[in-house]
Amino acid sequence: MAYCILEVVLDTPLNSSFDYRWPCQPGEEPQAGQLVLLPFARREVIGLIVAIKHDTEVPPEKLKDALDVRSQLSPLPERWIALARFAAEYYQRPVGEVALPGLPKNLRVPKTVALDRALKKLARLDPVQDATATGMPVLNPAQQEAAAAIGQAEGFTPLLLYGVTGSGKTEVYLQACAQVLARDPSAQILVMVPEINLTPQLEGNISARFPGVMLATLHSSLSEGERMLHWLAAHQGQARIILGTRLAILASLPNLKLIVIDEEHDPSYKQQEGLRYSARDLAVWRARQLGIPIVLGSATPSLESWHHAQSGRYRRLELRERAVRDAVLPGVRLIDTERDRPRDGLTGELLKALRQRLERGEQSLLFLNRRGYAPVISCDACGWISNCTRCTAFMVLHKPENRLRCHHCSLELRIPRHCPTCGNVDLQPLGRGTQRVEEGLQAMFPEARVLRIDADSTRRKGSAQAAFETVHRGEVDILVGTQMVAKGHDFKNLTLVGILNPDTALFSQDYRASERLFAQLMQVAGRAGRAGGAVSEVLVQTRYASHPLYGAVMRHDYERFAGSLLDERREAGLPPFMYQALLRAEARELPIAIEFLEQARDCLPAGGILVNDPIPMTMTRVHNVDRAQLLVESASRPALQAFLREWVELLRAMKSRVKWSLEVDPLDI
Ligand code: ADP
Ligand code: ZN
Ligand code: ZN
């Protein structure tokens, strides 16, 4: 019997590939990109073939046979493997740890029932698709220009679609999709959104406009069966439009011709655990690799993208006005909470505005980025406060469940009846979260229909969508919510946005806090007055009414604000003018983590890299683990990359028992 050697990568922290033997006749070898079932460390695991060879350095007695090549599945394209290789190199991870977790779970199990079932299902579908778009509205001139620029772009073209909230960016995307599909009916288009909750709205729009085209969705709340089916539809080129959250960037899309990233500035494009990739950055890489256009859309672009647009690397497209006739950006007013003291968190001005909306039958939205009832409870008598015993954080009061909850380690306790230190029975909630605001509103406006939307109220699958639908149907008068309600939603009858307590971010140590706060306020303000007609306004309750950030929000002046932030970053030597990586260490005790980082610093390879001191993370302890970090920086990305490659080798060789991880381009430092 003849054999060939399969070189495979596996989902292991080992940074190497493995050789296996596979019996086959010459000319019938498997191909790179195929999946294969293998014996590995007394288990059966799935690997990805990256090369076919005829000999190996593995001694014959150690060479194992592969168990099954998944020949029913077409190979993952070479360019997809190149993407995984790039991401692995860039983020300093083994290729297998990038490539395999990117595949649906059902492909990574010994049994093939799920795969075979999905294949059968897709084979039964009509192969003919009608890419004609229907019901397209007439675009305004600015939209037309933008859509044409995207639709006609050739080769790698990054376009920044900078359009105010409600300027009709979605229509531009849809029109551009229509143009691409009209030219090439088998083209695939990837559309990414930052939040799962935004997929139903866009899914509805896309399937209404392209009724004859197969649409696949990829996000984390699909069941494994659905995920398999949708992934496969994309991989086989059947799905023409693929709508997803950040994980969709790792989908196999053999005929990808256009990428759209909506709300490109959104931090949720950054994966915060495991492979900490930026889906936006990978998307730009992918577009360059394939030589295709990519659209980055936002009313408040990330400073990185804005900087590229300023320097001409990205082409800027602009929508300065709202798309709906008569719809204008809402007026923004600041309410000084020193003068107008809030009652139940709401100032007199805001209450008056709410009352007006109720009388007119219009909807209001109150935005507060803090869930729960109160962020902490305390004892007036002795000063005890509800600290989490496992984290550097407070236990948050959740009133509906009568619980204290830590939002970082999920510790849950019953609310103590009396103070654990002095026995005082009068424990007080301090501050307020969405639950408390909701309660206050219900007491003040008993006839109003108040709905709270946050991570707590939408735990059940489908409940977020149901909640948003009740708002769209007009069955809600006052909506209270966290950032979940701030993004992207096209509420038609909403004319008042109240922003409660945004001030904390003004004084954050995180240098990105003001960029984020500004984007968030512009986003949430942008939910008001989208349909035109009624006068809409945004009221911001603040103690710092003269802060320049609020001035910029009042003027809807992203450009000047971004300009001044970029100047500050340039002066201070911060991204996007500097490239950073963060080494994190976790240990039972902080000194152990710090000591590890000091050792890591001592074994640094030479090179023009700026190395900071190891410091505890702002939230030092989470779930009884202490965390510290070491920041390294360079003005040159290639220099940083070269340095990291060497450093990671040295770190791996250190054999420390400390758990460490490296993050490239960290967002939170
Ligand atoms: P954005 O994503 O820029 O915030 P949307 O794409 O949600 O804005 O559009 C805002 C509203 O404008 C939507 O209700 C949409 O239907 C409407 N709209 C978009 N383009 C047009 C147009 N050309 N004519 C009329 N209405 C439009
Ligand atoms: Zn006490
Ligand atoms: Zn905790």
User: Is residue 368, in this structure, part of any structural domain at all?
Assistant: yes
Q: Does a cis peptide bond (omega within 30 degrees of 0) precede residue 576?
A: yes
Pocket test for ligand 1, best of 318, 324, 487 (most atoms within 8 A of CB): 324
- Residue 590, CA distances (Å) to 338, 587, 593, 627 in order: 40, 6, 5, 7
Q: How far apart are CA 557 and CA 42, in angstroms?
A: 61
> Which residue's CA is the closest to the ligand 1 atom numbered 5?
168
Distance of alpha carbon 64 from alpha carbon 363, whole angstroms:
66
Percent of the chain with pLDDT over 90: 88
Res 365: pLDDT: 97
- 346 shares a domain with 215: no
> If you average pLDDT over residues 177-196, what whole number do you get?
95
Helix axes 78-90, 279-290, angle to 10 degrees: 140
pLDDT reading at 5 higher than 80: yes
Pocket test for ligand 1, best of 140, 171, 536 (most atoms within 8 A of CB): 171
Measured from CB, residues less than 6 Å from any atom of ligand 1 are 137-140, 143, 163, 165-171, 323-324, 490, 530
Cα atoms in the Cβ-side hemisphere of radius 13 Å centred on 474: 8
- Tell me, yes or no, whether 608 lies in a domain: yes
Q: Residue 391 falls within a domain, yes or no?
A: no
Angle (CA) 562-557-295 rounded to 5° is 65
Residues 309 and 364 in one domain: no
Which pLDDT value is given to residue 461? 86
Strand, helix or coil at 208? helix
Ligand 3 centre distance from Cα of residue 629 (Å):
20
Is the pLDDT assigned to residue 669 strictly greater than 90?
A: no
Helical segments of 403-475, H only = 434-444, 463-472
Please tell me the predicted confidence (pLDDT) of residue 558: 97
Contact 414, 463 (CB under 8 A): no
379: CA distance to ligand 2 center in Å? Answer: 5
Whether residues 243 and 356 share a domain: the answer is no
C-alpha 416 – ligand 2 centre gap (Å): 11
Average pLDDT, integer, range 579-608: 91
> How many A from CA of 530 to the centre of ligand 1?
8
Out of 319, 351, 386, a domain closes at 319
**Which CATH number fits the domain that encloses residue 653?**
3.30.70.600
> Is 110 inside any structural domain?
no
Per-residue pLDDT band for 27 (boundaries 50, 70, 90) equals confident
Indicate the top mutation candidate among 263, 489, 490 to test ligand 1's pocket, ranked by most ligand atoms within 8 A of CB.
490
Do 291 and 360 fall within a single domain?
no
Burial class (CB in 10 A: 0-12, 13-18, 19+), 402: exposed
The pick from 165, 170, 489 for probing ligand 1's pocket by mutation, whose C-beta has the most ligand atoms within 8 angstroms, reads: 170
Question: pLDDT for 116-162, tens place per residue?
Answer: 999 999 999 988 899 999 999 999 999 999 999 999 999 999 999 99
Question: What average pLDDT does range 444-465 have in this prediction?
Answer: 94
Instruction: Show which of 534, 567, 600 is a domain's final residue.
Output: 567
Percent of the chain with pLDDT over 70: 100
| Average pLDDT for 326-342 | 94
Q: What is the CATH number of the domain that holds 11?
A: 3.40.1440.60
Query: What is the rounded distance in angstroms from the CA atom of residue 376 to the CA atom of residue 430?
Result: 6
Last residue of a domain, one of 299, 319, 339: 319
Domain count, the chain: 4
Name the closest-CA residue to atom 15, ligand 1.
168
Residue 398's nearest CA partner among 382, 384, 410, 383 is 410
Nearest-CA residue for atom 9 of ligand 1? 168
In this structure, the answer to whether residues 162 and 63 fall within a common structural domain is no
Same domain, 160 and 294: yes
- Binned at pLDDT 50, 70 and 90, residue 68 comes out as very high
**Ligand 2: centre distance to CA 376 (Å):** 14
Give pLDDT tens digits for 633-668.
Answer: 999 999 999 999 999 999 988 878 899 999 999 998
Residue 379 placed within a domain: no
Same domain, yes or no, for 643 and 596? yes
Q: Whose atoms come closest to the Cα of 299: which ligand?
A: 1
Residues 515 and 601 in one domain: no
The per-residue pLDDT for 87 is 97
**Ligand located closest to 136 CA:** 1
Q: Looking at the domain assignment, is residue 270 inside a domain?
A: yes
Question: CB burial class (10 A; 0-12, 13-18, 19+) of residue 484?
Answer: buried
Q: Which domain holds residue 274?
A: 141-319
What does the block give as tokens for 61?
A: 């007695």
3-state secondary structure 302-314: CHHHHHHHHHCCC
Question: Do residues 306 and 160 share a domain?
Answer: yes
> Residue 550: which CATH number?
3.40.50.300
211 & 305 share domain: yes
Residues 449 and 525 grouped into a single domain: yes
In a domain, 416, yes or no: no
- Does 62 lie in the same domain as 206? no
Burial annotation 431-455 (CB, 10 A radius, 16+ → b, else e): bbbbbbbbbbbeeebeebebbbbbe
Residue 265 lies in a domain: yes
pLDDT mean over 534-544:
94
State residue 517's pLDDT score: 96
190 CB-side CA count, 13 A? 35
Digit-coded pLDDT (tens) for 383-440: 999 999 999 999 999 999 999 999 999 999 999 999 999 999 999 999 999 999 999 9
